């Protein structure tokens, strides 16, 4: 029997014109009030919500409903292995923010808080999961959004030979940011600007201050030459283009973050041929026989790249976990949820780490596949904006106030394609420095970027 899930039955596309479905609101509110006795009886609340939807097409969540809904949305995220701590999500209610300046200032606060750089009593690098929830979408009205897929991402610059400096995945977005007037340094790890679109001002670009971008320079516990590769990665992965949906209400701007699992950086971002493609470079430096695949040179490189990531983050005091620990935690989460009488919806192809799968417990079982709400969704137009940095037909671009109506609600199946590399052309190996050079270049300072001033 098939379980209605993301694979067999993709969720319906979001229609931004449609009023809130009272049935979905009711289902959420009943669950919320049943789980939180102190919120009181649900019936009076349902009557208010029903009247609000009838009058305005939507309704507003109380701060407690919002916080609960956001945590459940995380708990329902089938692709996330890190859900053991779903109760600890810090929910920042930013529903009053309107202007791009206000939104940007709160995004900076989010990153400082998430990175542990916002307060005197916390250590920079003590990453904690945070979500900032900006105004909900009103049916049929334009809404604010962020185009970037993550708050912190590195630019990618295509050079004349077709190679790429930086993150090849960001080439389209970077070009578009340059068309909009942004100038990056042209380095391999340039932090992209944040593109904030609001109904009143269209898209505006903002440069993140250094204090909001905690980064770790990468070195290896044994290979001295590794640091000379000049690799680094940012500490906070903060997804910024997924729509949070709670009880029929949609929040298109609700950036959220957790901490990194090492393989995301060491086995994907730095290793994938379509990303930084460092595997051949590191293999050369390790002196491995790359003439045939059966020497397992790729596998050996992956192990060392991942050791470098974990070791460097630990040395810098920045929270990160390895895939074995995160796998054990996820299995503990399944046990906890089982005791509470709940199934854990999960997508095997995303939960199993991208290296050493069978060495982790999460590999050796199947999961309940279901699309449960509240949840986070990546809409096709959000995906396109993050990839291209503009809409499909910039020549016939609509006036800013009409932008949000220009949705292309395509079947949502698209967003269920796992984040596996698309078979595109290989980027030229990116070697930030010539490691064999007799004069080693100045290494990036192993210290973290300066912390946020204490004014939270
Ligand atoms: N895999 C993405 C990246 O490498 C981040 C996705 C969210 N990851 C997380 N640990 N919360 O940037």
**pLDDT tens digits along 196-205:** 999 999 999 9
Evaluated on CA atoms 77, 78, 80, 84, the torsion sign reads: positive
Share of the chain above pLDDT 70, in %: 84
Instruction: Label residue 57 by pLDDT band (50, 70, 90).
Output: very high
Domain count for the chain, please give it.
Answer: 1
Enter the tokens of residue 33.
């009030």
Instruction: Label residue 118 by pLDDT band (50, 70, 90).
Output: confident
Please check the confidence at residue 319 and state whether its pLDDT lies above 60.
Answer: yes
Query: Would you say residue 413 lies in a domain?
Result: no
- Concerning whether 80 is annotated as a catalytic residue, the answer is yes
More confident residue, 12 or 380: 380
User: What is the structure's pLDDT at 212?
Assistant: 97
Residue 66 per-residue DSSP state: H
| Pocket flag, ligand 1, residue 27 (CB < 6 Å) | no
C-alpha of residue 260 to centroid of ligand 1, in Å? 6
Query: Would you say residue 183 lies in a domain?
Result: yes
Share of the chain above pLDDT 90, in %: 81
Per-state percent for the chain, helix, strand, coil, to nearest 5:
40, 10, 50
- Considering the candidates 14, 86, 259, 311, report the single residue annotated as catalytic: 259
- Considering the candidates 26, 27, 80, 141, report the single residue annotated as catalytic: 80
CB atoms within 10 A of CB 182: 18
Query: Would you say residue 385 lies in a domain?
Result: yes
C-alpha of residue 259 to centroid of ligand 1, in Å? 8
Query: Would you say residue 336 lies in a domain?
Result: yes
- Concerning whether 311 is annotated as a catalytic residue, the answer is no
Query: Would you say residue 344 lies in a domain?
Result: yes
| Pocket flag, ligand 1, residue 264 (CB < 6 Å) | yes
Mean residue pLDDT of the chain comes to 88
| Closest residue CA from atom 4 of ligand 1 | 264
CB atoms within 10 A of CB 407: 16
Domain span at residue 192 reads: 60-352+378-391
Alpha-carbon span 22 to 75, nearest angstrom: 23
Average pLDDT over residues 402-418: 33
User: What is the structure's pLDDT at 11?
Assistant: 77
Instruction: Label residue 123 by pLDDT band (50, 70, 90).
Output: confident
Buried b (16+ CB within 10 A) or exposed e, 13-51: bbebeebbebebbbebbebbbeeeeebeebeebbeebee
- Considering the candidates 24, 26, 101, 264, report the single residue annotated as catalytic: 264
Evaluated on CA atoms 164, 165, 171, 177, the torsion sign reads: negative
**pTM as predicted:** 0.87
Query: Would you say residue 371 lies in a domain?
Result: no
User: What is the structure's pLDDT at 119?
Assistant: 81
Alpha-carbon span 239 to 84, nearest angstrom: 19
Query: Would you say residue 88 lies in a domain?
Result: yes
C-alpha of residue 149 to centroid of ligand 1, in Å? 11
Q: Which atom of ligand 1 lies at the shortest distance from residue 129's CA? A: 11
Lookup result for tokens 């039955």: 9
| Closest residue CA from atom 10 of ligand 1 | 260
User: What is the structure's pLDDT at 8?
Assistant: 59
Average pLDDT over residues 167-177: 98
Q: Which atom of ligand 1 lies at the shortest distance from residue 261's CA? A: 10
Evaluated on CA atoms 260, 261, 263, 264, the torsion sign reads: negative
Query: Would you say residue 226 lies in a domain?
Result: yes
Please check the confidence at residue 80 and state whether its pLDDT lies above 90.
Answer: yes
Q: Which long-range contacts (CB under 8 A, 24 or more apart) does 302-307 make?
A: 302/266, 302/267, 302/271, 302/355, 303/355, 304/220, 304/223, 304/226, 305/266, 305/267, 305/270, 305/271, 305/278, 305/279, 306/262, 306/263, 306/266, 306/267, 306/355, 307/220, 307/221, 307/266
Preceding amide of 423 cis, omega within 30: no
């Amino acid at each position: 029997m098939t379980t209605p899930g993301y694979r067999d039955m993709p969720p319906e596309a979001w229609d931004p014109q449609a009023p809130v479905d009272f049935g979905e609101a009711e289902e959420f509110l009943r669950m919320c009030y049943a789980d939180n006795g102190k919120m009181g009886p649900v019936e009076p609340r349902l009557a208010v919500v029903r009247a609000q939807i009838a009058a305005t097409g939507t309704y507003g969540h109380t701060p407690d409903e919002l916080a609960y809904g956001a945590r459940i949305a995380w708990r329902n995220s089938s692709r996330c292995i890190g859900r053991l701590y779903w109760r600890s999500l810090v929910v920042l209610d930013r529903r009053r923010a309107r202007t791009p300046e206000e939104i940007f200032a709160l995004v900076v606060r989010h990153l400082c808080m998430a990175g542990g750089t916002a307060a005197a009593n916390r250590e920079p690098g003590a990453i904690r999961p945070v979500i900032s929830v900006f105004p909900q979408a009103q049916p049929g009205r334009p809404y604010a959004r962020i185009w970037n897929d993550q708050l912190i991402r590195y630019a990618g610059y295509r050079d004349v030979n077709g190679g790429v400096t930086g993150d090849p995945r960001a080439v389209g977005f970077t070009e578009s940011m340059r068309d909009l007037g942004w100038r990056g340094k042209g380095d391999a790890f340039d932090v992209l600007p944040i593109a904030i679109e609001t109904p009143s001002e269209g898209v505006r670009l903002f440069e993140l201050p250094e204090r909001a971008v905690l980064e770790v320079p990468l070195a290896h516990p044994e290979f001295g030459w590794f640091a000379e590769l000049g690799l680094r990665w940012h500490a906070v992965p903060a997804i910024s283009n997924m729509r949070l949906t709670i009880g029929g209400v949609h929040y298109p701007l609700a950036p959220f973050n957790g901490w990194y699992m090492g393989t995301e950086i060491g086995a994907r971002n730095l290793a994938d041929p379509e990303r930084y493609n460092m595997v051949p470079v590191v293999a050369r430096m390790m002196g491995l026989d790359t003439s045939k695949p059966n020497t397992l040179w790729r596998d050996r490189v992956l192990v060392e790249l991942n050791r470098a990531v974990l070791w460097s983050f630990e040395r810098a005091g920045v929270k990160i976990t390895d895939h074995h620990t995160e796998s054990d935690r996820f299995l503990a989460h399944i046990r906890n949820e089982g005791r509470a009488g709940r199934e854990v919806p999960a997508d095997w192809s995303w939960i199993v780490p991208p290296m050493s799968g069978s060495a982790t417990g999460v590999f050796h079982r199947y999961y309940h596949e279901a699309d449960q709400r509240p949840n986070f969704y990546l809409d096709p137009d959000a995906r396109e904006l993050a990839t291209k940095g503009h809409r499909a037909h910039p020549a016939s671009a609509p006036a800013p106030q009409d932008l949000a109506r220009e949705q292309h609600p395509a079947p949502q199946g698209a967003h269920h394609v796992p984040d596996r590399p698309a078979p595109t052309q290989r980027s030229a190996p990116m070697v930030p420095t010539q490691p064999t050079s007799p004069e080693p270049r100045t290494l990036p300072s192993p210290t973290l970027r300066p912390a946020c001033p204490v004014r939270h």
